Amino acid sequence: MGGFEALTFMDATELARLVRKKEVTPLELVDFFIGRIELINPKLNAVVTPMFEEARQLAQRPLPDGPFKGVPMLLKDLLAAYKGVRHTFGTRNLANYIADHDSELVRRYKQAGFIILGKTNTPELGLLPTTESVLFGPCRNPWDLSRTTGGSSGGSAAAVAAGLVPVAHGNDGGGSIRIPASCCGVFGLKPSRGRNPLGPDFGDVMSGLVAEHVLTRSVRDSAAILDVTAGYDPGDPYIAPPPARPFREEVEKDPGRLRIAYLTSTLREGINLHPDCRLALEHGLKLLESLGHDVEEVNPNLPAEFIARAFTTVWVAGCAATVKGISFFTQKPPAPDQYEPLTWAMYQMGEKVTGAEYLMAIQVLQRLSRDMAKMYGQFDVLLTPTLGEPPVKLGTFDSPPEDPLRGWRRSAAFVPFTPIFNATGQPAMSMPLYWNSEGLPIGLHFVGRYGEEGLLFRLAAQLERAQPWTDRRPPTADVHAV
């Protein structure tokens, strides 16, 4: 890889510029990043399905003349299908299932010129905020190999953080882009509901909880990639408001003086913020004030426990629906020996949810969305820590057969904030603005009004310029240390 090391932590936008100027070829990029995956991935277990030969073949053929022509990326092994490649959802039941078509999102990545090098590690069905499936084994955090990467896009976040690729796909049903972005020290934005397509396989997932996008090293990459993937796909059940201008242009604009509300409470009884997360919040508030923004603490009177029960009702029903869907492909009725204990317990819970209970839960979450929207008449952005704790040790969310829901209960303290905004459909982002005394990243979580990714990108770019993070490199990113 000699001579190409400078490419390692360039973002996708810069790599695409080099390709356009013919300073590097797509094949050279593909070979370079394959080399990094081969050297570093054995320690991380981030890439679980290599697609190296197909990537090399594509790199030698004419590519679509998109804005990311020739740039390598990775695809999370959940929801987004790639024709001819196994598509497992992190479960043993689909270990040998091969997708027979591309998802619309993957088609748009290809049209943008991306070359996909492989698929990344995810927990079974994406159910937990850690990436430790029985099928693939644990994905390890590049900042500390004993810690979680978060989930469910943990493989993608670890790969970007360690310089295996500049960008990787993820999806987010309860924080699954933002959680691993926080744990791994990268940028992760969950777009507004309906911004990116889920077709052709899904109209929505769990009544609109799930959104798809990417994990990146730079704000401008996230914005520019959203430009090439966003937009209505015929048959979509939701349509996000059209942006005022390309998201990439927002990165160059001043956000102005913003009214930023913040939370110091998790809103959940008995769940308190870890001191490091409170320090991260205090650091973020000082940074915002130094940039001229107005910050004010808020204590919304939301029925947090009632909302949590409604979210869980939708989540377990979604798990049951997914298990039923997998049975359609495997032609085998669901059985406990096919799934991890937590997945099976959630399936059983979901089987008991009645139609009336499901609709009532949706009504609760829709009421939450209206109440939250009204709050935004008083401020522009809401700030919280992304997580309630720094990255925890691997095994923290283990769920033994005798207590199969232990991991789900434990996750409440880890992810007190992110699921709320899957329910409301608002855009939200995790930014790597703080590292604790152990050298672990702790993200800050910014939430905008529905449809206003543009404002978040303007603020994110300002914060990125004020406090750049790209010079922070996890120890496992150094191939000489491997």
Residue with tokens 């201008």: 245
Question: Measured between alpha carbons, how far is 385 from 141 in angstroms, rounded to an integer?
Answer: 19
Q: Amino acid identity, residue 472?
A: R
CB of 474 within 8 A of CB of 481? no
Backbone φ, ψ for residue 234 (5° rounding)? -50, 130
Question: Measured between alpha carbons, how far is 151 from 180 in angstroms, rounded to an integer?
Answer: 6
Q: Name the residues annotated as catalytic.
A: 76, 152, 176
Maximum pairwise Cα distance, the chain: 62
- CA dihedral sign, ordered 395, 399, 403, 409: positive
Strand-pair partners of 447: 382, 428
Residue with tokens 């855009």: 427
Pick from 41, 46, 76: which is nearest to 176 by CA? 76
User: Which conformational region is residue 70 in: left (phi greater than 0), alpha (psi within -120 to 50 degrees), or beta?
Assistant: left
Strand, helix or coil for residue 313: helix
* C-beta neighbour count of 309 within 10 angstroms: 12
Cβ partners under 8 Å of residue 417, min gap 6: 175, 263, 266, 384, 385, 386, 387, 388, 445
CB of 214 within 8 A of CB of 225? yes
Token pair for residue 53?
Answer: 């030969």
